C-alpha cells in the first residue's frame, strides 16, 4: 500500500464552485451506526490484510481503530462515520482530522509510518474542484505538519472493498444492503447465519403466501386435471400505444402502435418503470400480472419448499420483490372495509377508515396479513421500497365501479409513483380494460401504455395444446378436437371469438363436448357454456335436475346483485356466505317462490355449477368478472320488464351503454335479443347518440354491438346502424379508437364493415375537398382492406378528375391504399400536378413515373425544391428513391445521434432508415447514373473525417454537383451547421474562392462560414445584400434562424421580413417546413421571447419562422406578443404551424373564449397539441362548440371536449334507476 496519495496537485486552475457530496447509495452505511460501520471497516481490513490488529469498538482507542505492522513501523487506520447527508463533507473531514491532531502526533512519535481515514462520506471527483482532490491537498499539507503520509478512503473506496469482499461479509451486515445485493441476500442467505433476520423473514412469508394465491388460474374450469398457472399460460402479445410523455420525442399524441412481442417477456425487461396494461375482458390481464409476480417469486423459493404450482419458464433479468394488489381491495380498504378480514365485515357494521389512506398504508396492511400478522408499519414499507427493487402490480383498475373512487385511487397511484422516484426504482404495472369513457388512468407523463393484442393463430394453437394437456385429451379425441378447431376457426366469426383467451377456453370446451355445433355469437357462447354445465350436473345431481329453472334464475339474480353492489357500495365482488344465503332467500320470497330451496340452490350455485367460487374463506364471488356480467345481463333481459311490462329493451340498453362499468354487460344484454327486437334495440342506441351525453362511449358501444353480430340478422337494421357511424364526429372518434386501441373489435364484412365502408366512400366522393375526406377513406380502407374493391371505386373518379381542380384532392384520397401505384401509365402521364404540395401527394399516393418522362422530371424537381420532404413511404421510382436516401429527417437523426429525428412530437414524418432498404436504393440509383457513386461516398465519413460535419457538407455538395443548387442540398448543409459543435467538429470539402450563396454556392463553405460567423451581424448583412435570388435569400433566412446568435437575428429582422415578402410561395412553404423540422429536432440553440416582440408587427410568415426557435421546446408558450388573429393565419402552413397551435392551446386553456375556440379550428384536424387536464374545467358550452365542428378542430381538443361533456353527465347508479322506475315490477 502506498503511503502518500496518488491524487496530487499538478498546478492550480482558476477556482470553481464546489459541488456538494454525491452519494452512490450502493451500500447504506448510514443505517449501520458508528459501531457497526467500524466493525465493517475492520472486517474489510482483515480480509485484505490478515496481519491487521483491530481494536474493540466503543472503547477509548487513542485515535486508532486498527493497526497494521509495516516492518518496524505501524500503519494507523481511523474510522469516521456520520449518518447525515453532508452538504460540505470537506469541512466535516477537516474538522475530524483537527479533532484527532493530538492523537496523530502521539502515534507518529511512537513510530506510525502512515495514517488512513476510513469514512462513509461521499466525495466528488470533478477534476481539480472535487472534494476528493481538495482533501488530498489538505492531507498533503497535514502530512508535512505531522511528519507522516496521510490518506483518506472515501465512500467509493469502501464500496470497492465491499464489492471485492466475500459474500458472507455483505450478509453479515444486511442493514446496509440495497438493490440487487439485498435481493441476493433474500434469495441465498439461508446458507449462512441470517435465518432470523426479521426483514427477510417477513418478505419471504409474503412471497410464499402470494405464491400460493397466484399459482392457479382464476377461471375455474370443469374437468381440468391441472389449474396450474404455468400449465395454461400463453404469453399474449402486446403493442405499445404510447411511451411516457416525459420520454416521448417522436410519437404523435396518438402514435402508430409498436409491436412488443410477448407481454410477459417484454415486461420482464422493459426499461419503462411504469406501465399501464390495457386488455379486453377475458384477455388475460390478471393472468399476466400473476405470471409476472410468480417469475420473480420463483427466484426466492427453493424446490424443497414444496411449492404449490410449477415454476414459470421465463426468468427475470433482475429479480424484484413482487407484490400483486387487487385494486378492488384497496378501494374497499380506504372505504373502511378490511378486505382481508375473516369473516368479511357484515353489511351495516360501522366502518373504520384508515388514518393514513395511502398506498404505502395499504401495502403495510397487506404485508401484515400475508406474513402471518407480523407487525408492519408505513416506515417499514418505505424502507423496503427504498432498499430493494420491487415489482408492484395493481390489478383491475376497471373493476373499481364508482368513478369518484377510481379517480381517487388513480391519484394515489400517481402520488405513490412520484414519492418512489428517488428510491431504487420499483416497477409499477397497472392493469385495466380499454377506456372509451375518459375515466381516470395513471398519468401518461410517466406511464408507458401497452395493449394486449388478440391471440395470433400461433398462440391459439399453443393454447389448444396446453388446454388439451391440462384435460388429458389424447389420441383420437385430441385429433378430433384439433380438426374441429382448425375447420371452424377458419370462419371469421369463430376466429373472432377465438382471439380472446377466455372465449377460446369456452370455445374449446364446447367443441370437445359438441363437436362442430358451437355458437358464433359472444352471448350465445357463454350461454352454451353454462347450459353444458347444467346439462352435466342435471344428470348427476337430482337437486340440479329438479330445480334447474330456479337455479338459473337465482344465479342470474346473483350476477345482477353483485354487479350492482360493486357500483353502489364499492364492494370488491365478494359476499360473505351468510349474505349470499340471505340474498337468495330474499329473492325467493320476493318472487313468491319456495324459500326452503335456499340450501339446495346455494350448494348448486357454489359447488355443482361453479358459477360462484370461494377464494377467501367465508366468502364467495364469481370466478371472473365477465361471468358475473353475463349473468347480470341475463337477469336484466329476462326480468327487467317494468311494472306492467312496459319497459322497453332499448331503454335498458341505453342505460347500460351510458355507464362505463356496465359496457361489457350491455354487449351480453344485446346478445340475448331476438330478431324481432333488433330494430327497437337500435332506436335506443340512436337516441343515446343524439342526446350527446357520452359521445365516444355510445359510438364504441354501437361498434361493439355490430362486431358481435347483434344486427346481422336484420340487414336493413344493420345498414341503419352503420349509417350512424359515418357522420363527422363518428369518423374522428372511430379513427382515433382504431389507432390507439389494439383491442377494438374487428368488424366482419357481413357484420357491417362493407356497409360502413361504402357509406364512408360515398361521403368522401361527394366532398373530396372536405378536411375529413381523407380520414373517411382511411377508415373505410382500414375496415375493408380490399385493394381491388378500393380501386374499382377510386380509379373511375381519379380518371374523371385528371387535369381538373379535383386532381390533387382525388390523388390525396388514393393515399391510404397507395392506389396510384395501380393507375395505368397512360392515365398517370396526364397528371398536371398543380399546386405546391402536388408532388408530395403524388409520391404518397404511389404515382410511378416512367424513367425520363416529363412526369418524372416534375416529381424530381419537387423533391429538390424541398416540397416533398414530408412524404411518408414514397412511391418507388427515381424521385421516391432520392427522397428515401436524402430526406432531411435522416440527416437530422444522424446529427442528433439518435434513433429519432425530433425532440418533440409536432407531426413531422419520422421514419428511420433501414440499412437493407438504403443499400437497395443506392444500387438502383447507381445503376441509373454512375455519379451516385460520388454521392454514396459523400454520405460516409472519409479518412480522418470521423466526428466532423463532412457527411452533411459533402452530401450537399455532391447533390449540387449533380442537380445544381437546390433547396434540399441547402437544408442538408444547414442541418450540419446547426448540429452540436462539441459532437461534430466542422469538417468536409470546400472549393477554393467559392461562395456560400449565389448562383454557384459551395454548400461545404456555407456550412463552415455559417458556423464561423454565427455571432457577426456584419457578415450576415453582407451576404444578404450580395445575393438576392430566392434560393439564396431562403437559405440565408434558414441558416440565420437555426445557427446565428440572438443579437444577429435581432439586428437582421428587417432584412428577414423584407426578404420573406419577396419569396415565391413554394420557397416560403419549403422554408417554413425546413425551419420547423430544425426547430422541432432540438439541434439548434433556442432564443428568448425578445425576438417575438421585435417581429410582432412583421408578416405572419416572419413571425412563424422566428416562433419556431423561441423558448423551451418542452414548455409551450402563449406567444403573447403575437395577436390571436395572426396565430390563426399561421394555420395554413399545416405541420409547420405548431408554435401557433401550441400557443392557441395555452391561451384557450388559460382564458377560454369563443374567439380562441374558433381560432383553434384554423389549425386543422391533424395539429399536434397537448391539451392537459386544465381543459376539464373549461365551460361546457365552449366544449360543445368544438364537438359541433369535428371537421375543423385538432384531435386532442376534440377528445378533451368529449371528455369534458361526458364527465358532466353524472349518471345515477343503475340499481337506483331500476328501483325508481320499477324495472322488476312492484
Categorize the per-residue pLDDT at 254 as very low, low, confident or very high, splitting at 50, 70 and 90.
Answer: very low
On whether both 1092 and 1197 belong to a single domain, the answer is no
Pairwise pLDDT comparison (553 vs 199), residue with the higher score:
553
Read off the pTM.
0.81
- Tens-digit pLDDT profile for residues 439-458: 899 999 899 999 999 999 99
Judged by average pLDDT, the poorest of 108-112, 556-560, 847-851 is 108-112
Residue with the bigger pLDDT between 5 and 292: it is 292
Cβ atoms 776, 731 nearer than 8 A = yes
Q: Please, which pLDDT band fits residue 115 given cuts at 50, 70 and 90?
A: very high
Asked if residue 922 and residue 978 are part of one domain, the reply reads: yes
User: How far is 861 from 821, CA to CA, in rounded Å?
Assistant: 20
Alpha helical stretches, state H, 541-613? 542-546, 548-569, 577-590, 598-603
3-class secondary structure per residue, 822-861:
HCCHHHHCCCCCCCCCHHHHHHHHCCCCCCCCHHHHHHHH
Q: At what angle do helices 1100-1108 and 1138-1150 cross, to 10 degrees?
A: 90
H or E segment to which residue 135 belongs: helix 131-146
The 10 Å Cβ neighbour count of residue 355 is 6
Bridge partners of 430, per DSSP, are 276, 394
The helix (run of H) or strand (run of E) holding residue 728 is helix 728-740
Q: Output the average pLDDT for the chain.
A: 89
Query: Does the pLDDT of residue 499 top 80, yes or no?
Result: yes
pLDDT digits (tens, 9 = 90+) for 520-575: 899 999 999 888 877 877 777 777 788 888 888 998 999 999 999 999 888 778 88
Mean pLDDT of 968-988: 96
Alpha helices in 1044-1153 (DSSP H): 1046-1051, 1053-1062, 1065-1081, 1090-1095, 1100-1108, 1124-1130, 1138-1150
Same-domain status, 102 and 67: yes
**SS3 labels along 1075-1088:** HHHHHHHCCCCCEC
For residue 222, the model assigns a pLDDT of 56
Task: Output the CA–CA distances (angstroms, integers) from residue 1099 to 528, 1044, 1162, in the order listed.
Answer: 70, 21, 18
In tens, the pLDDT along 37-95 reads 999 999 999 999 988 999 988 777 788 899 998 777 889 999 999 887 665 777 887 88
Q: Is residue 855 part of a domain?
A: no
pLDDT at 1000 over 70: yes
Q: What is the distance between the alpha carbons of residues 773 and 732, in angstroms, rounded to a whole number?
A: 11
**Domain total of the chain:** 7
Q: Are residues 518 and 577 in the same domain?
A: no
Asked, for residue 1068, whether it belongs to a domain, the answer is: yes
Tracing cell 404505502 back to the chain, one arrives at 360
Q: Decide if pLDDT at 593 tops 50.
A: yes
The answer to whether the beta carbons of residues 975 and 891 sit under 8 Å apart is yes
| Sign of the alpha-carbon dihedral angle for 999, 1002, 1003, 1007 | negative
Same domain, 896 and 1007: yes
Query: Hunting for cell 360515398 — which residue is that?
Result: 762
Contacts of residue 1064, Cβ cutoff 8 Å, sequence gap at least 6: 1030
606 and 676 together in one domain: no
Cell of 32: 449501520
Distance separating alpha carbons of residues 723 and 714, to the nearest angstrom? 14
Q: Which residue did the predictor score with more confidence, 200 or 283?
A: 283
For the cut 70, the answer to whether the pLDDT of residue 348 exceeds it is no
Among candidate residues 1146, 1067, 1076, the one with its CA nearest the CA of residue 1104: 1076
- In the structure, what pLDDT confidence band is assigned to residue 480 with cuts at 50, 70 and 90? very high
Q: Reply yes or no on whether the pLDDT at 9 is more than 60.
A: no
Domain boundary among 437, 454, 471: 454
Residue 954 and residue 935 in contact, taking contact as beta carbons nearer than 8 Å = no
Residues 427 and 562 in one domain: no
**Higher confidence at residue 520 or residue 25?**
520
pLDDT, position 18: 36
1152 and 1052 in a common domain: no
Q: DSSP of 370-422, one letter per residue? A: HTTS----HHHHHHHHHHS-EEEEEE-GGG---HHHHHHHHHHHHHHHHHGGG
Query: Containing domain of residue 732, as a range?
Result: 648-736+747-762
Question: Within a domain: residue 1132?
Answer: yes
Other C-beta atoms closer than 10 Å to the C-beta of 1164 total 19
- Asked if 450 and 463 sit in the same domain, the reply is no
**866 closest CA partner among 1065, 1106, 1027:** 1065
Residue 261: which of 241, 242, 239 has the closest Cα?
239
Which residues lie below 8 Å from residue 461, measured CB to CB, with a gap of 6+?
none
Of 1079, 702, 748, 1054, nearest to 904 by C-alpha is: 1079
Report the distance separating Cα 687 and Cα 667, nearest Å. 17
pLDDT band at 193 (very low <50, low <70, confident <90, very high): very low
Residue 802 within a domain: no
Q: Are residues 674 and 595 in the same domain?
A: no
Measure the CA–CA gap between 978 and 973, rounded to whole angstroms. 9
What pLDDT score does 238 carry?
95
Q: How far apart are CA 217 and CA 501, in angstroms?
A: 12
Q: Has residue 1052 got a pLDDT over 60?
A: yes
Among candidate residues 1050, 1085, 1112, the one where a domain is terminated = 1112
- pLDDT band for position 608 (50/70/90)? low
Same structural domain, 971 and 1087:
yes
Residue 1019: how many CB atoms within 10 A of its CB?
17
Q: Which of 177-191, 348-362, 412-426, 1001-1015 has the lowest mean pLDDT?
A: 177-191
Q: Does the pLDDT at position 796 exceed 90?
A: yes
Distance, CA of 326 to CA of 343 (rounded, Å): 18
Residue 327's domain is classified under what CATH number? Answer: 3.40.50
- For residue 191, give the C-alpha cell: 446458507
In this predicted structure, what is the pLDDT of residue 226?
61
In angstroms, rounded to a whole number, what is the distance separating the alpha carbons of residues 1027 and 475? 86
- Rounding to the nearest 10 degrees, give the CA dihedral for residues 1099, 1105, 1111, 1114: 130
Question: Residue 129's pLDDT is what?
Answer: 66
Per-residue pLDDT band for 1100 (boundaries 50, 70, 90) equals very high
Residue 979 lies in a domain: yes
Cell triple for residue 439?
375515466
Contacts of 399 (CB under 8 A, 6+ apart): 327, 328, 566, 572, 573, 625
- Strand pairing of 575-576 and 612-613? unpaired
**Contact yes or no for 784/813 (Cβ under 8 A):** no
Confidence class for position 351, pLDDT limits 50, 70, 90:
confident
Tens digit of pLDDT for each residue in 1130-1179?
Answer: 999 999 999 999 999 999 999 999 999 999 999 999 999 999 878 889 99
The order of strands in the sheet holding 575-576 is 575-576, 619-622, 612-613
In a domain, 187, yes or no: no
Look-up: residue for cell 366512400? 761
Question: Cα(383)–Cα(505) distance, rounded to whole angstroms?
Answer: 43
Integer-rounded Cα radius of gyration of the chain: 36
Q: Which of 419, 454, 489 is the last residue of a domain?
A: 454
Provide the pLDDT for residue 618: 76
Average pLDDT of span 128-152: 85
Q: What is the pLDDT of residue 225?
A: 54
With a cut of 50, say whether residue 252 has pLDDT above it.
no
Residue 433 shares a structural domain with residue 485 = no
pLDDT of 974 higher than 60: yes
Contact 728, 762 (CB under 8 A): no
* 882 in any annotated domain: no
Those residues with Cβ within 8 angstroms of residue 174's Cβ, 6 or more apart along the chain or in another chain: 182, 185, 189, 194, 197, 199, 200
Q: What is the pLDDT of residue 346?
A: 58
Q: Do 893 and 899 contact (CB within 8 A), yes or no?
A: yes
pLDDT attached to residue 8: 31
Q: Which residues pair with 392 in a beta bridge?
A: 323, 428
Residue 322 resides in a domain: yes
Amino acid at each position: 500500500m502506498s503511503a502518500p496519495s496518488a491524487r496530487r496537485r499538478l498546478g492550480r486552475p482558476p477556482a470553481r464552485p464546489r459541488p456538494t457530496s454525491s452519494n452512490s447509495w450502493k451500500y447504506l452505511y448510514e443505517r449501520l451506526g458508528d459501531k457497526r460501520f467500524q466493525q465493517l471497516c475492520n472486517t474489510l481490513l482483515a480480509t485484505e490484510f490478515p496481519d491487521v490488529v483491530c481494536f474493540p469498538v466503543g472503547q477509548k482507542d487513542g485515535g486508532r481503530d486498527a493497526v497494521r505492522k509495516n516492518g518496524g513501523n505501524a500503519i494507523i487506520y481511523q474510522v469516521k462515520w456520520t449518518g447525515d447527508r453532508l452538504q460540505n463533507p470537506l469541512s466535516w473531514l477537516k474538522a475530524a482530522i483537527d479533532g484527532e491532531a493530538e492523537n496523530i502526533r502521539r502515534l507518529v512519535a511512537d513510530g506510525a509510518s502512515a495514517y488512513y481515514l476510513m469514512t462513509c462520506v461521499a466525495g466528488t471527483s470533478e477534476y481539480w474542484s472535487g472534494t476528493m482532490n481538495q482533501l488530498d491537498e489538505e492531507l498533503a499539507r497535514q502530512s508535512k505538519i505531522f511528519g507522516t503520509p496521510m490518506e483518506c478512503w472515501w465512500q467509493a473506496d469502501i464500496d470497492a472493498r465491499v464489492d471485492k469482499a466475500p459474500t458472507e461479509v455483505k450478509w453479515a451486515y444486511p442493514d446496509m444492503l440495497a438493490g440487487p445485493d439485498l435481493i441476493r441476500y433474500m434469495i441465498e442467505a439461508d446458507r449462512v447465519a441470517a435465518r432470523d433476520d426479521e426483514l427477510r423473514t417477513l418478505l419471504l412469508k409474503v412471497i410464499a403466501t402470494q405464491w400460493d394465491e397466484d399459482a392457479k388460474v382464476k377461471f375455474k374450469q370443469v374437468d381440468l386435471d391441472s389449474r396450474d398457472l404455468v400449465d395454461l399460460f400463453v404469453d399474449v402479445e402486446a403493442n405499445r400505444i404510447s411511451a411516457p410523455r416525459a420520454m416521448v420525442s417522436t410519437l404523435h399524441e396518438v402514435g402508430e402502435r409498436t409491436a412488443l412481442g410477448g407481454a410477459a417477456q417484454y415486461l420482464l425487461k422493459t426499461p419503462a418503470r411504469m406501465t399501464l396494461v390495457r386488455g379486453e375482458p377475458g384477455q388475460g390481464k390478471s393472468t399476466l400480472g400473476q405470471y409476472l409476480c410468480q417469475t420473480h417469486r420463483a427466484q426466492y423459493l427453493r424446490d424443497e419448499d414444496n411449492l404449490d404450482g410449477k415454476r414459470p419458464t421465463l426468468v427475470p433479468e433482475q429479480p424484484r420483490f413482487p407484490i400483486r394488489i387487487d385494486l378492488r381491495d384497496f378501494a374497499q380498504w380506504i372505504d373502511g372495509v378490511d378486505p382481508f378480514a375473516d369473516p368479511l365485515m357484515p353489511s351495516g357494521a360501522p366502518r373504520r377508515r384508515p388514518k393514513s389512506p395511502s398506498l404505502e398504508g395499504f401495502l403495510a396492511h397487506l404485508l401484515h396479513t400475508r406474513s402471518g400478522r407480523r407487525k408492519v408499519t408505513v416506515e417499514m414499507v418505505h424502507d423496503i421500497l427504498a432498499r430493494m427493487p420491487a415489482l408492484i402490480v395493481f390489478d383491475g383498475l376497471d373493476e373499481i365501479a364508482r368513478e369518484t373512487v377510481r379517480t381517487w385511487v388513480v391519484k394515489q397511484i400517481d402520488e405513490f409513483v412520484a414519492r418512489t422516484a428517488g428510491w431504487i426504482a420499483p416497477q409499477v404495472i397497472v392493469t385495466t380494460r380499454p377506456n372509451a369513457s375518459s375515466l381516470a388512468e395513471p398519468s401518461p407523463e410517466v406511464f408507458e401504455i401497452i395493449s394486449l393484442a388478440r391471440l395470433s393463430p400461433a398462440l391459439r394453437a399453443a393454447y389448444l395444446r396446453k388446454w388439451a394437456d391440462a384435460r388429458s385429451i389424447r389420441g383420437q379425441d385430441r385429433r378430433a378436437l384439433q380438426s374441429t378447431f382448425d375447420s371452424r376457426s377458419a370462419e371469421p366469426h369463430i376466429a373472432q371469438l377465438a382471439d380472446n383467451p377466455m372465449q377460446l377456453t369456452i370455445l374449446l370446451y364446447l367443441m370437445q363436448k359438441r363437436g362442430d355445433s358451437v355458437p358464433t355469437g359472444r352471448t350465445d357462447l357463454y350461454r352454451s357454456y353454462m347450459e353444458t354445465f347444467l346439462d352435466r350436473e342435471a344428470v348427476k345431481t337430482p337437486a340440479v335436475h329438479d330445480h334447474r329453472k330456479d337455479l338459473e334464475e337465482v344465479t342470474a339474480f346473483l350476477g345482477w346483485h353483485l354487479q350492482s353492489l360493486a357500483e353502489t357500495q364499492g364492494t370488491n365482488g365478494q359476499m360473505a356466505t351468510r349474505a349470499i344465503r340471505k340474498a337468495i332467500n330474499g329473492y325467493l320470497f320476493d318472487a313468491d317462490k319456495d324459500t326452503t330451496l335456499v340450501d339446495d340452490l346455494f350448494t348448486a350455485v357454489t359447488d355443482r355449477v361453479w358459477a360462484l367460487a370461494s377464494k377467501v374463506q367465508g366468502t364467495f364471488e364469481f370466478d371472473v368478472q365477465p361471468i358475473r356480467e353475463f349473468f347480470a345481463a341475463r337477469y336484466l333481459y329476462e326480468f327487467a320488464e317494468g311494472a306492467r311490462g312496459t319497459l322497453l329493451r332499448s331503454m335498458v340498453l341505453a342505460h347500460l351503454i351510458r355507464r362505463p362499468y356496465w359496457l361489457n354487460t350491455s354487449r351480453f344484454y344485446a346478445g340475448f335479443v331476438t330478431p324481432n327486437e333488433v330494430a327497437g334495440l337500435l332506436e335506443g342506441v340512436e337516441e343515446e347518440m343524439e342526446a350527446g351525453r357520452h359521445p365516444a362511449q355510445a359510438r364504441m358501444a354501437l361498434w361493439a354491438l355490430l362486431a358481435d353480430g347483434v344486427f346481422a340478422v336484420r340487414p336493413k337494421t344493420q345498414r341503419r346502424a352503420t349509417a350512424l357511424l359515418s357522420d363527422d364526429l363518428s369518423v374522428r372518434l372511430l379513427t382515433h379508437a382504431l389507432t390507439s386501441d389494439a383491442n377494438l373489435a374487428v368488424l366482419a364484412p357481413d357484420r357491417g364493415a362493407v356497409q360502413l365502408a361504402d357509406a364512408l366512400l360515398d361521403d368522401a366522393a361527394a366532398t373530396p375537398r372536405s378536411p375529413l375526406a381523407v380520414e373517411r377513406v382511411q377508415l373505410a380502407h382500414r375496415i375493408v382492406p380490399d385493394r381491388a374493391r378500393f380501386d374499382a371505386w377510386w380509379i373511375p373518379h381519379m380518371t374523371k378528375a385528371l387535369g381538373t381542380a379535383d386532381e390533387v384532392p382525388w390523388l390525396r384520397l388514393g393515399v391510404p391504399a397507395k392506389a396510384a401505384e395501380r393507375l395505368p401509365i397512360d392515365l398517370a402521364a396526364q397528371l398536371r400536378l398543380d399546386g405546391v404540395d402536388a408532388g408530395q401527394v403524388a409520391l404518397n399516393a404511389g404515382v410511378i413515373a416512367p424513367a425520363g418522362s416529363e412526369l418524372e422530371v416534375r416529381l424530381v424537381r419537387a423533391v429538390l425544391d424541398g416540397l416533398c420532404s414530408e412524404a411518408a413511404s414514397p412511391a418507388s421510382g427515381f424521385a421516391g428513391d432520392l427522397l428515401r436516401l436524402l430526406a432531411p429527417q435522416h440527416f437530422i437523426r444522424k446529427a442528433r445521434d439518435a434513433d429519432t429525428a425530433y425532440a418533440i412530437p409536432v407531426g413531422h414524418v419520422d421514419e428511420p432508415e433501414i440499412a437493407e432498404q438504403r443499400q437497395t436504393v443506392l444500387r438502383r440509383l447507381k445503376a441509373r447514373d454512375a455519379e451516385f457513386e460520388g454521392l454514396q461516398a459523400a454520405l460516409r465519413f472519409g479518412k480522418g473525417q470521423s466526428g466532423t460535419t463532412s457527411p452533411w457538407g459533402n452530401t450537399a455538395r455532391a447533390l449540387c454537383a449533380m442537380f445544381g443548387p437546390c433547396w434540399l442540398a441547402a437544408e442538408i448543409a444547414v442541418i450540419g451547421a446547426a448540429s452540436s459543435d462539441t459532437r461534430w467538429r466542422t469538417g468536409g470539402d470546400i472549393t477554393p474562392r467559392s461562395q456560400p450563396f449565389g448562383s454557384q454556392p459551395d454548400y461545404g463553405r456555407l456550412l463552415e462560414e455559417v458556423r464561423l460567423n454565427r455571432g457577426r451581424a456584419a457578415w450576415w448583412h453582407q451576404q444578404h445584400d450580395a445575393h438576392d435570388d430566392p434560393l439564396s435569400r431562403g437559405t440565408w433566412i434558414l441558416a440565420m434562424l437555426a445557427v446565428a446568435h440572438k443579437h444577429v437575428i435581432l439586428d437582421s429582422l428587417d432584412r428577414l421580413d423584407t426578404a420573406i415578402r419577396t419569396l415565391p410561395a413554394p420557397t416560403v412553404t419549403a422554408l417554413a417546413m425546413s425551419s420547423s423540422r430544425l426547430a422541432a429536432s432540438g439541434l439548434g440553440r433556442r432564443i428568448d421571447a425578445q425576438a417575438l416582440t421585435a417581429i410582432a408587427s412583421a408578416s405572419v410568415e416572419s413571425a412563424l419562422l422566428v416562433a419556431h426557435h423561441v423558448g423551451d421546446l418542452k414548455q409551450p408558450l402563449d406567444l403573447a406578443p403575437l395577436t390571436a388573429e395572426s396565430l390563426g393565419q399561421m394555420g395554413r402552413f399545416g405541420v409547420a404551424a405548431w408554435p401557433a397551435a401550441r400557443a392557441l392551446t395555452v391561451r384557450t386553456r388559460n382564458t377560454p373564449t369563443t374567439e380562441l375556440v374558433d381560432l383553434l379550428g384554423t389549425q386543422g384536424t391533424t395539429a399536434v397539441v397537448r391539451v392537459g387536464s386544465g381543459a376539464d374545467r373549461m365551460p361546457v358550452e365552449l366544449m360543445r362548440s368544438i364537438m359541433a365542428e369535428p371537421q375543423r378542430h385538432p384531435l386532442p381538443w376534440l377528445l378533451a371536449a368529449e371528455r369534458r361533456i361526458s364527465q358532466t353527465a353524472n349518471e345515477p347508479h343503475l340499481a337506483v334507476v331500476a328501483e325508481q322506475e320499477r324495472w322488476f315490477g312492484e
